[in-house]
Amino acid sequence: MAAKFEVYKDKKGEYRFRLKAGNGEVIATGEGYAQKAGCLKGIESIKKNAPNAEIVELD
């Protein structure tokens, strides 16, 4: 099974997303958004920018 984004409403009525790995484990979560469109834009931003993100170790 491939990774997937799940969009849902939290207890406060805000839209959130979680990214699940192929094994069903949650590997990332998003902030709360008032509008579903904002949540979907957040997902698109991650999909677009993550391949270019550098890893910074803050030891």
pLDDT in tens, 17-48: 999 999 999 999 999 999 999 999 999 999 99
31 in a structural domain:
yes
59 in a structural domain:
no
Give the pLDDT confidence of 9-25 residue by residue, as tens digits. Answer: 999 999 999 999 999 99
57 in a structural domain:
no
Task: Output the domain CATH number for residue 44.
Answer: 3.30.160.160
What is the domain range of residue 42?
A: 4-51
14 in a structural domain:
yes
pTM of this structure: 0.85
Given pLDDT bands bounded at 50, 70 and 90, which one contains residue 57?
very high
Q: How many domains, the chain?
A: 1
44 in a structural domain:
yes
Q: Are 14 and 32 in contact (CB under 8 A)?
A: yes
Q: Are 2 and 23 in contact (CB under 8 A)?
A: no
